[in-house]
């Protein structure tokens, strides 16, 4: 397998999960600063021009939720997903919230051009980032994060996903003192060998 990624993006979640599986894989760094994700070569791999992208024997997989789910299914010995159908659905409910709401809220800071064309609109979007992200993570602490991991005592693919987005909070202007459970989760993640390997890239 080959994982196209950049650890400063949400692709960090997939990179961590890859290391958690113990599988052999190749990593290919996509230089976002140089707009490598928009190069013809990379667009041939992922026409959306985003990371991550995972090359498998069966084809290419994009989107974080899909890649994380694939890895958990392909490497069941790593126990990265609940076996109970209801608990699995709750995990995916959480992952879907990260993808559809939390990540999108964050994207309004630097990707306002996806939704508007006026600079005043961009300023309005940026002004709401801290509030929106804080409210999202307060909901996560209240409704989802069961501790010590998202699903309670079982570490799953939801944890690297949460960790990757949590790393953006300070830059988004969120006071981490208001999020003690998230802070504790991030500290626990930083102690995992797979996380250390991913961050060393």
Considering its fold, how many domains does the chain have in total?
2
pLDDT value of position 198: 96
Determine, yes or no, domain membership for 133. Answer: yes
Task: Give residue-wise pLDDT tens across range 135-165.
Answer: 999 999 999 999 899 999 999 999 999 999 9
Q: With CA atoms as reference, report the closest residue to 87 among 164, 163, 158, 16.
A: 158
- Both 102 and 161 in one domain: the answer is yes
pLDDT value of position 135: 97
pLDDT value of position 61: 98
Determine, yes or no, domain membership for 197. Answer: no
Where a domain ends, among 62, 78, 94? 78
- Both 148 and 167 in one domain: the answer is yes
Which CATH number covers residue 171? 1.20.1050.10
CB 92 within 8 A of CB 113: no
- Both 100 and 65 in one domain: the answer is no
- Both 123 and 98 in one domain: the answer is yes
* Residues of the domain holding 42: 2-78
Residue 62 to residues 21, 129, 193, 194: CA-CA distances in angstroms? 18, 26, 25, 21
Give start and end residues of each alpha helix (H) in 24-167. Answer: 40-43, 64-74, 85-97, 103-107, 119-139, 158-166
Q: For the chain (length 201 residues), average pLDDT per consecutive 10?
A: 94 98 95 93 96 97 98 97 97 98 84 69 79 97 96 98 98 97 98 97 79
Determine, yes or no, domain membership for 201. Answer: no
Determine, yes or no, domain membership for 200. Answer: no
pLDDT value of position 170: 97
- Both 21 and 98 in one domain: the answer is no
Where a domain ends, among 54, 78, 102? 78
pLDDT value of position 117: 67
- How far is the C-alpha of 80 from the C-alpha of 83, rounded, in Å? 9
Residue 171 to residues 88, 111, 126, 162, 166: CA-CA distances in angstroms? 31, 15, 12, 16, 10
- Both 17 and 62 in one domain: the answer is yes
- Both 68 and 90 in one domain: the answer is no
Determine, yes or no, domain membership for 199. Answer: no
pLDDT value of position 88: 97
- Both 71 and 110 in one domain: the answer is no
- Both 123 and 185 in one domain: the answer is yes
Where a domain ends, among 78, 95, 129? 78
pLDDT value of position 64: 98
pLDDT value of position 55: 98
- Both 66 and 104 in one domain: the answer is no
């Amino acid at each position: 397998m080959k994982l196209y990624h950049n650890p400063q993006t949400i692709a960090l979640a997939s990179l961590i999960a890859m290391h958690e599986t113990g599988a052999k894989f190749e990593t290919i760094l996509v230089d976002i600063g140089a707009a490598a994700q928009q190069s013809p070569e990379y667009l041939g791999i992922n026409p959306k021009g985003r990371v991550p992208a995972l090359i498998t024997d069966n084809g290419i997989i994009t989107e974080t939720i899909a890649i994380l789910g694939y890895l958990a299914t392909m490497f069941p010995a790593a126990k990265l997903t609940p076996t109970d159908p209801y608990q699995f659905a709750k995990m995916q409910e959480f992952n879907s919230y990260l993808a559809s709401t939390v990540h999108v809220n964050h994207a309004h800071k630097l990707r306002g051009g996806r939704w508007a064309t006026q600079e005043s609109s961009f300023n309005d979007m940026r002004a709401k980032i801290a509030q929106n992200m804080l409210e999202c993570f307060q909901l996560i602490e209240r409704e989802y994060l069961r501790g010590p991991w998202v699903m309670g005592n079982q570490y799953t693919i939801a944890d690297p996903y949460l960790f990757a987005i949590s790393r953006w909070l300070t830059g988004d202007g969120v006071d981490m003192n208001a999020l003690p459970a998230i802070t504790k989760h991030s500290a626990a993640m930083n102690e995992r060998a797979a996380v250390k390997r991913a961050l060393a890239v």
